[in-house]
Structures are given as C-alpha cells and as structure tokens.
Amino acid sequence: MTHRVLRRAGIVITGTEVLTGAVQDRNGPWLSEQLAALGVEPAHILVVGDRPRDIAAALRFMAQERVDLIVTSGGLGPTADDLTAQVVGEFQGREMTLDEPLRGRIAEILKPLAERHPHLDRDAIEEGNRKQATIPAGSTVLEPVGTAPGLLVAPVDAVSEHPPIVVLPGPPRELQPMWERALRDGSLHAAVPRGQVARVRTLRLFGIPESEIALTLREAHRAGVEMSQLEVTTCLRGGEIEVVTRFEPAAQPVYEAFEGIVAGRHADTLYSRDGSTVDEQLAVLLNGSTRRTVAVAESCTGGLLLGRLTSRPGASAYVVGGVVAYSNEVKIAEAGVPRETIERHGAVSEQVARALADGVRERMDADVGVGVTGIAGPGGGSEEKPVGLVWVSVSDSGGSSLTRSVRLPGNRADVRDRAVTVAMHMLRRTLSG
Amino acid sequence: MTHRVLRRAGIVITGTEVLTGAVQDRNGPWLSEQLAALGVEPAHILVVGDRPRDIAAALRFMAQERVDLIVTSGGLGPTADDLTAQVVGEFQGREMTLDEPLRGRIAEILKPLAERHPHLDRDAIEEGNRKQATIPAGSTVLEPVGTAPGLLVAPVDAVSEHPPIVVLPGPPRELQPMWERALRDGSLHAAVPRGQVARVRTLRLFGIPESEIALTLREAHRAGVEMSQLEVTTCLRGGEIEVVTRFEPAAQPVYEAFEGIVAGRHADTLYSRDGSTVDEQLAVLLNGSTRRTVAVAESCTGGLLLGRLTSRPGASAYVVGGVVAYSNEVKIAEAGVPRETIERHGAVSEQVARALADGVRERMDADVGVGVTGIAGPGGGSEEKPVGLVWVSVSDSGGSSLTRSVRLPGNRADVRDRAVTVAMHMLRRTLSG
C-alpha cells in the first residue's frame, strides 16, 4: 500500500530435499527477517533443486526483476553434486579457481574429524577439501563455520547490471553464524549498505475472527487515518491474529493513530502492542519480581504444552514439571483426579480439567496448575463430545480458577496445537490478574 | 543425475506473512509431494508477497521456464488485498466476471457465520462474498472448503504457450481437501494428466555421518551399479540420514543392486528400507499383536518425547502417560528417583536416567519405561557435563535396560529435538529385540 523506498533482495534456496518437501526450509524465513531488519525488503524466496540450470534460471529471474542483492543458501558441500558456487561464478562471469590458503584453512578444520574417524576415506576427504576451496576468482570469502566457506560474488564489469550475490551454506547452524559474523566484520558491506530502515510494528490479538480486523482497517480509514502511509498485513497464525505494519519513520504519528483505533475497538482481545508473543509474556509473568511456579497435567495435548513452556532458556526456574495423563489410571494415580469424577462426568469434562489443574498443582507444590483434557481425534468423538472439544483449566494456590471449553477445528495436529495456544492464553490471563 | 522424462510444475506461494518469515510455508512442501506422486516433478517453489506485480513476475518466470503446470496458493480471501485470481486472470488473458451461482453458494456458506456473530458488518460480508465469486471468465471452479473457491485457469488462445494454472486458497486446511477432491472428481484432469510415475524409494539410517553415505554411493558405482539411472538425494534430517532415490520403472533392478550395497555396508544403522519412519515403526511395535504400553519420564526434553509419541492417532492404546520431571523434587516424588541417586550422581547422569525409566514404568504400570535427562542449554553446562550431554534409558518389565549418553550439537531447540530422536531409536531397538 505504500510506495517503495527500500532496496529489494531475492533469496534462492537450493536443495532437492527442500524442493521435494522432505525438509522444511528454515533459511528463507530467517534470511528474510534478517534482510528486513537491515532495511532491505525481501522480494522473493525461490526454492529450486540441485540442478545447475534451475539455479541459473533463479539467478536470472532475480536479476531481471532488478533486485539489489541475491542471497543463496545450500549447494556448498564437499560432494560433486553441490554446484552453487560454480553456477554463481559463471553467472557473474568469473572463472573457478582453487584458493590455496583457503584449502589449507579447511584442511585444518577437517583434521580433528579425520582423527576421530580413522576409518574414513582420506582421498574422499581431500577431494572434498579441494572442491570446497574452489571458488569464483575474486570473490570475498566468508570463513567457514562448518567446512564450507561462504562467498560474496560481485559481477565482473561485462555483466555489471547483475546484483552482488551472497552465497551461504545450507545448514542453518552454519548459515546463521556466518551471516551474523559477516555483517559484523564488514565483509558484506559492499552488498548490504544500510538502507532507510522501515519501521515494523506488530500487534497480536487472541480470540476474534480476522474479518473483524478488516473492518477495523476500514474504520480507521473512515476516521481519517492516512492508511496509504501504512503497509498493514494481517494474518491468522495458530488461532491468533497478527497485525504487522511497515511504515517510513515519518509516518510514526499515522501509525500511532491506527494503533489507537485498534486498541479502542479490540481492548479485550489485543494482548500485545509491542510484538511480544504470549510465550514471551508468560515467561516474564512467571519469572518476574514475584516469581510463580507452574505445573501442568495434560491429556489430549500429550506433552506439547509442557514442551512449549520449557522451550525457553531458563524455564526450569518456573516450570516445576507435569504429568501427561493419557490413561484414566494415570489421571487418578498421578494427577489426583478422583475416580468418581471421571466416572460421573467422563474424562473430557469441566470437572476433570479442574481436577487435573488442582491435582498437579498440589502434588507438585506449584503456585499455578494447568489442566487440559479433550478429544484430539480423529477417533473418539461423539455427538455430545465431538472431536475438537477441549476443556482447559487454570487454578492458583489462592483457590481461584478459570475453566473453559473450546471447540477447535482441524485435524489432530491442529486441535492439539490450538489447545496449547488456548491454554497459554488462559495461563497469561490468570497470571496478569 | 537421470535424464528428464517427467512433466514439470512450478509452485507459487503468495503472502507477505510467508515471505517475511512470520509464517512458515506448509503448502509448498505439501504440493511438491502431491505433484511428485502424480509423476509431475516440482521445478520451483517461489514465495512472493501480495503485490500484483511480484505475483505476475512469478507466473512469467515459470512460463519462461516452460513448466507444464503452475499451482498457486494464497490471495483468495474476501479482502481487497487478495489479488491472486485477478492477476492470474490477466496473465491468462481472461476478464474478471461475477459468477452469480457461485456467489449464491458462498452466501450459503456465510449464513451460519453471520448468524453466530450477529454484530458483524453485513455490508462487509456481502462485499467479500462478491469479491470471492468474481473470477476469470471461463475458469473451472473448485468448490470452496472455507469460503474461497479454487480455480483452474487455462490460457486463452492468444497466450496459449502459457501453462494452465491451478489457483488454491492459502490455509492448508482449505488447500489440501480442495486439491484432493479436485483430483478425485476430475476437475484437474486437463491440468494434471497422469505422467509416467517415477518410482521413489526411501532408506533411513540412524547413527552415521552423511559422508559415509557419499562413500557408499561411490562404492556402488565402482561395484558396477549403473548409478546414472538413479537420482539419489541424501540428506541429514534431525540426526538421521534419509536416502531418497527416484528412478524410472525400468531401472528397478539397478535400484535393488544399489539398495543391497547400502544394506550390506550399513547393516547396523539402516533401520528402514520401505521409507517408514521411526515413529511409524514404533507405533507398529507397540500396537502390534503383543501390545506393549509405554510410559516416559523426561527432564530436558520437557514433554516433547511424550508429544511426539502421542502425535499419532490411536496413541492412547499404548502410551499410558508420563511425567515431565523438570525439578529435582518432581523427579523424586513423581518419578520415583531416589534422592540419594540425584545427590550422589547429579540430575544428569546414567543413574538418574535409569531411575527415571524404571520409576515411571513401575508407577504407571507400563511394559516399557523411558527416562531422559540432559542439559539443553544455553546455561547449565560444565566441563564435566557440557551443554548437549543427554542420558537416555529404556527399561522393560523383564528387568533388562539400555542406557546411553550422547553429546548433541546445536542450540537448545536442536538438543531437545535430537534427544527425542535418540530416545525414539533406543525405544525402537528395545522393542524390536
């Protein structure tokens, strides 16, 4: 919705395993966020297989689209089918050449590997070493994190309408530190000069349909907010609505007016005005000045709520633990649910959710307990208790509790994930009073 | 490595939220697998924002690359910024036109929504309804799963070198059933005729480095296997090696010779010759003729092992439940770990892993118990017990047990995920004897 002031970049992800869906691409989204933070707008993420002609076509496409920078990931391994460096070299008009000092540095990295695995084939290792040190002449080398060097390959004069290309390895644990180091040490300065950094603000809402936000956008326009100065993207993400707004620094007052209208219309569902996630907010609430501990007893979510709560470093300070009470016997013996409560109301019921929350809190001596029980499907549903019905209860040691049922759409994985999100929000509400 | 006999397709994913990394793309990988199963080879997955000119450029690129089919996802919503149908219509030379019967069918879908939410703006709903029913003239409509219809848009004669374009909605829970139904009812027949279906075979190995497989490929070549008839992709995936081979049906004997060499060289680490995952194998082992039940006590993995074991439908038949024993007190009180074992050996130790496995198995009356304890990081490591050290123990009611430590690389999430995979494999080994 706004006119473009930003530089644009294209991202090329190579790898048949990504193209065929065997492996989820983590580099495209990561690089996209990195570029955006530098004021470079991602224009395309293009996934291609390991075939040289497809990689070359991808580069050609991006150059035609006049991006200011191309970043590639993958295809830098030691084997002969890893061809990205060569394809990029040809594209930029540069011959491949063995960089002897680089070969030596990679050999140093390989030494301990060869020592640990004496049965590995030495010729194969040396061949791979030479292959990884053979780079387009005149490129800037980004030192290896694993064994593959990254590259910054500018075009030779004859093809100077091409953008510079940053060539990175495929494994995220090599790509990410390499990119960050190259930014710090200035290696990428020629390719990534700081543009005018667009401001990006994120609002998060939980518990309303996306169409309500569409209405609010129109309302803001009617109220005289110059929406043409804001690029607003709304999206539904695991049951939450995320409203991301990009704008030039001069449009700050316009954004503030817009945010004010959202806050006014959606006071009860807008839970984050600074982009913080419910996970981050919970960590702050639990780990704050009045630290509170939490214990969980979960049935249909089968450990996913505990897995999410413990995904943050330092979670052991406030997550005591929990019980995955899949069978009724475990609900009774390990989570303190009275047998007669299950017999009278069924395992998926308000009463059992409360008993799970109370039981695990007491047994594990936590300040807050969470109980989750529901029907994730695909089997096990009935007319009265259909697939997707989930009861969540949060109780605290002061005796107050919040218990609620939801009907969640989707398949087994959707229901489980969404139920975890509902529980996270109910816990947040309880903790924030 | 093999010459092309397959038809090729391009996949265009639209959506600023995907491009910017806010949302992970699930449609590209899914469509890619679907197309491959139909004998159509995915050539590119191209992610672009919601801008019409970027979507048009993506279509132009794919047509230039002479793909036989384009599939798009996203941009079919009720709001004015959802422009995919219009851009595709223009590209194929077709005017946009309101499909009145389609408008009526969508209105029927919207009715219950409007009734449930009487405060919603009726004008906005009707405007969205008309927008979603306005389609390129002469397209084939794929009936809505949500409110958005999909489309099959062939080029008009003047641009007949363009491939047909299948236009699908963005939410996976709409896209997937729509695609499957359209294949069944023949709506896509003009776009996806059955090609010669390539065979795809997958081998899975656990516990060797990828370089060893590279060596085996060379070994197979030396042994006279005509590797040029096979397209082999190896990839490292969560600590496992996946070897995917595509070949024409006539090359079946070549593939079998190759598989025989892999099986001979890697007998101890090749655990799947039919592509089945460790999750699938475990479900069969636990749920087979001699059903065995499992209980888990996990510390550093914080619920993720239980979450993974319960992710399959029907898991409640063999997963009794488990304890997430994050604090030492919970390890002692709820998982039966003797206090002195923790005091003497520390919470991350062989002894505590065994005590967790034994304790949870006995308390939850399961046939098999699994214990996991380790240091996921980033804090909490020491020289003796560094970040990434994880002990896993599997014990059965017959009194035998398997306990092992691993040093896992990567960040907190990597260590946790990898530890879960290690535990899955140890459980598989124990159950398969």
Residue B408 DSSP code: -
Can you give A5-72 as a three-state secondary structure string? CCEEEEEEEECHHHHCCCCCCCHHHHHHHHHHHCCEEEEEEEEECCCHHHHHHHHHHHHHCCCCEEEE
Which residue of chain B has the CA closest to A325?
B321
Q: Can you give the three-state secondary structure of B82-123, one letter per residue?
A: CCHHHHHHHHCCCCEEECHHHHHHHHHHHHHHHHHCCCCCHH
Q: What is the pLDDT of residue B197?
A: 61
Contact B414 A173 (CB under 8 A): yes
Average of per-residue pLDDT across B180-186: 87
Structural contact between residues A166 and A152, judged by C-beta atoms closer than 8 angstroms: yes
Give the pair of three-digit tokens for residue B162. 């363009």
B 52-91 residues with CB below 8 A of A? 54, 57-58, 61, 65, 78-79, 81
> B386-398: per-residue pLDDT in tens?
999 999 999 998 8
Decide the pairing of beta strands B199-206 and B270-272: antiparallel
Once rounded to an integer, what is the mean pLDDT over residues A34-60?
A: 91
Give pLDDT tens digits for A376-424. Answer: 999 889 999 999 999 999 999 888 999 999 999 888 998 999 999 999 9
pLDDT at A16: 85
Out of A120, A314, A325, name the one closest to residue B211 (CB): A120
Lowest mean per-residue pLDDT among A367-371, B97-101, B237-241: B237-241
Q: Which residues of B184-199 are buried (b: 16+ CB within 10 A; e: fewer)?
A: eeebbeebbeebeebe
Say which residue, B234 or B180, is predicted with more confidence. B180
Q: In this structure, what are the phi and psi dihedrals at residue A350, rounded to the nearest 5 degrees?
A: -55, -45
Q: What's the pLDDT at A237? A: 75
Span B302-349, pLDDT tens digits: 999 999 999 999 999 999 999 999 999 999 999 999 999 999 999 999
Interface test with A, best of B174, B211, B287, B319 (most A CBs within 10 A): B211
Give the B window 267-326 contacts with A, CB below 8 Å. Answer: 295-296, 298, 301-307, 309-311, 313-316, 319-326
CA distance A250 to chain B (A): 22
Write the burial class of residue B213 (CB in 10 Å: 0-12 exposed, 13-18 middle, 19+ buried): buried
Query: Do residues B368 and B356 make contact, with C-beta atoms less than 8 angstroms apart?
Result: no
Cβ of residue A236 closer than 8 Å to a chain B Cβ: yes
Cis ω on the peptide bond leading into residue B378 (within 30° of 0)? yes
User: Which residue in the set B25, B42, B298 is minimally distant from A19, CB to CB?
Assistant: B42
Which chain B residue is nearest to residue A61, measuring alpha carbons? B61
Q: What are the backbone angles phi and psi of residue A286, rounded to the nearest 5°?
A: -80, -35
pLDDT at B244 over 80: yes
| Residues B46, A42: C-beta atoms closer than 8 Å | no
Inter-chain residue contact B327 with A316, CB threshold 8 Å: yes
pLDDT for position B2:
33
Residue B195: pLDDT over 60: no
Other CB atoms closer than 10 Å to residue B123's CB: what's the count?
9
Q: Which carries the bigger pLDDT value, residue B207 or residue A62?
A: A62
| Two tokens, residue B248 | 């024409």
Residues of chain B contacting A38 with CB distance shorter than 8 Å: none
Q: Per-residue pLDDT tens for B207-228? A: 888 778 888 999 999 999 999 9
* Residues of A with Cβ-Cβ distance to B416 under 8 angstroms: 311
Chain-centroid distance of CA A8 in Å reads: 22
Q: What is each CA distance from B129 to A142, B62, B111, B151, in whole angstroms?
A: 52, 31, 11, 16
Assess whether pLDDT exceeds 70 at residue A194. no
Residue B126 · residue B113 · CB < 8 Å: no
Do residues B165 and B92 make contact, with C-beta atoms less than 8 angstroms apart? yes
Among A193-197, B71-75, B111-115, B237-241, the minimum mean pLDDT is found in A193-197
Mean pLDDT of chain A: 91
Q: Which residue of B has its CA nearest to A377?
A: B313
Q: Do the strands A165-168 and A69-73 form a parallel or antiparallel pair, or are they unpaired?
A: parallel
Residue with more model confidence, A147 or A391: A391
When mean pLDDT is compared over A53-62, B14-23, B183-192, the highest value belongs to A53-62
CB contact under 8 A, A23 and B121: no
CA distances from B232 to A73, A78, A121, B32, B66 (A): 20, 16, 21, 17, 25
The percent of residues above 70 in pLDDT, for chain B, comes to 97
**Is the per-residue pLDDT at B1 higher than 50?**
no
Closest CB to B326: pick one of A48, A50, A319.
A319
- How do residues B8-29 score in pLDDT, each as one tens digit? 999 999 988 889 887 889 999 9
Chain Cα centroid distance, residue A268: 26
A-B contacts (CB, under 8 Å): 277
The 3-state DSSP class for residue A110 equals helix
Instruction: Determine the residue of chain B that is closest to A218 in CA distance.
Output: B124
Of the partner residues B45, B49, B309, the one whose CB lies closest to the CB of residue A19: B45
A322: chain B residues, CB-CB within 8 Å: 303, 323-324, 326
Statement: residue B237 has pLDDT above 80: no
A265/chain B closest Cα distance in angstroms:
13
Inspect the interface and report whether the beta carbons of B15 and A235 lie closer than 8 Å: yes
Q: pLDDT, tens digit, for every residue of A82-125?
A: 899 999 999 999 999 999 999 999 999 888 777 776 777 788 88
B45 to chain A, minimum CA–CA distance in Å?
5
Closest CA to B245 of B261, B229, B267, B260: B229
Does B431 score more than 90 pLDDT?
yes
**pLDDT at A249 > cutoff 50:** yes
Chain A window 344-403: which residues touch B at a Cβ cutoff of 8 Å?
A: 363-365, 377-380
Asked if A44 is an interface residue toward chain B (Cβ–Cβ < 8 A), one would say yes
- Cβ separation A124–B15 shorter than 8 A: no
Q: What is the pLDDT of residue A6?
A: 61
- Judging contacts by C-beta atoms under 8 Å, the chain A residues touching residue B46 are 44-47
**A37 contacts chain B (CB < 8 A):** no
Across chain B, mean pLDDT equals 91
The answer to whether the Cβ–Cβ distance between A326 and B315 falls below 8 Å is: yes
Residue that has been written with the tokens 């002061």 in this structure: A398
pLDDT of residue A403: 97
| Percent of chain B residues topping a pLDDT of 90 | 68
Q: Average pLDDT, stretch A14-40?
A: 87
pLDDT at position B255: 96
What pLDDT score was predicted for residue A5?
45
Q: Are B233 and A17 in contact (CB < 8 Å)?
A: yes
**Cβ–Cβ contact A213 with B under 8 A:** no
Which chain B residues are within 8 Å of A36, Cβ to Cβ?
20-21
pTM above 0.80, yes or no: no
pLDDT tens-digit profile of A279-337? 999 999 999 877 899 999 999 999 999 999 999 999 999 999 999 999 999 999 999 99
Please report which helix (H) or strand (E) contains residue B325, including its range.
strand B319-325
Cross-chain residue pair B302–A313, CB shorter than 8 Å: no
Q: In 10 A of CB B47, how many CB atoms? A: 33
pLDDT at B193: 66
What is d(CA B359, CA B373) in angstroms, rounded to the nearest whole number? Answer: 14
Sheet with B240-247, side-by-side order of all strands: B231-237, B240-247, B199-206, B270-272
Other C-beta atoms lying within 10 Å of the C-beta of residue A343: 10
Candidate from A30, A301, A329 with C-beta closest to B21 = A30
pLDDT at position A220 over 60: yes
The answer, for A136 touching chain B at a CB cutoff of 8 Å, is no
Chain A CB contacts of B319 below 8 Å: 302, 324, 326
- The pLDDT of residue A196 is above 70: no
